[in-house]
Amino acid sequence: MTALRAGAGAAAALTAGLALALAGSAFAKTTPNFNLTSNGTAVSQGAVVGAGAAGSYQDFPFTIAGDEADGDISVHIDWVNPADDFDLYIYRKGPGNELETVGSSAGAPPSTEENAVAQSQGVPITPGQYVIRVQNYASTVPNFKGTAHFGVFTPPNEIPIAKLAAPATVKAGRKVRLDASASHDPDGSIANYAFDLDGNGSVEVNNGNNPVLSRALSPGLHHVAVRVTDNKGLRAFANRDVVVQKKHKKKGKKKH
């Protein structure tokens, strides 16, 4: 029973961690940054294994945990002599420890640095085992240093949902109430409401953060619309047709 409770607690903690990461807040958990330091073993010059002379390299393995939400992996290395040449790779370990390249940088002299980036594709970078490989391509001295930095994942901004309530008909002389208060933003808030009162596609009234507008309209059919803008600048529209009735002339009494 104790083990079951512990397992349930761990699952709850993982779920909470993922929810926090996907929220894209400043408090989202990422893989810890770390430094890369040469141990002097990458002494033989050559290309990556399978693409010519094997040469030698130094690997820096790391793990992305299931509750970490990384948006990118940025790796930098540098060395002293611009005539030397190192190549840089970021691998993800697949089944059977097969290495899948997710980022690379293989510039040519004269240079004293390489920078490789692996970026998320709409979701956080897949948790699992990874390797940073520094390959001695044509360096006479096997010394380098560098850093691995993990950026927080920020979900793409979702489009807000615009909704507009309005009466189908209004008696002559009365104001038309346009109500967009049911509009909402799935991942933020509505920052602005603007109204098109004549259906020409441009807004006549910028109503700020007020979702309700009451206006007197001329008799006839009106194609009214609301444009909502979320807190990150995305927009959505909703429209309604409103008929304002014409005033009827009073009939005078007939003279006898």
> What's the pLDDT tens digit per position in 84-135?
999 999 999 999 989 999 999 999 999 999 999 999 988 999 999 999 999 9
pLDDT means per 10 residues in the chain (256 residues)?
Answer: 35 38 56 97 77 77 96 97 96 93 94 96 94 94 97 92 97 94 96 94 94 95 96 95 84 58
pLDDT, mean over the chain? 86
Cα separation, 184 vs 193, whole angstroms: 11
> What's the pLDDT tens digit per position in 125-146?
999 999 999 999 999 999 999 9
* Residue 41 contacts residue 58 (beta carbons within 8 Å): yes
Q: Please report, for residues 22, 32, 67, the alpha-carbon distance to residue 15 in angstroms, rounded to integers and kept in the order given.
A: 11, 20, 8
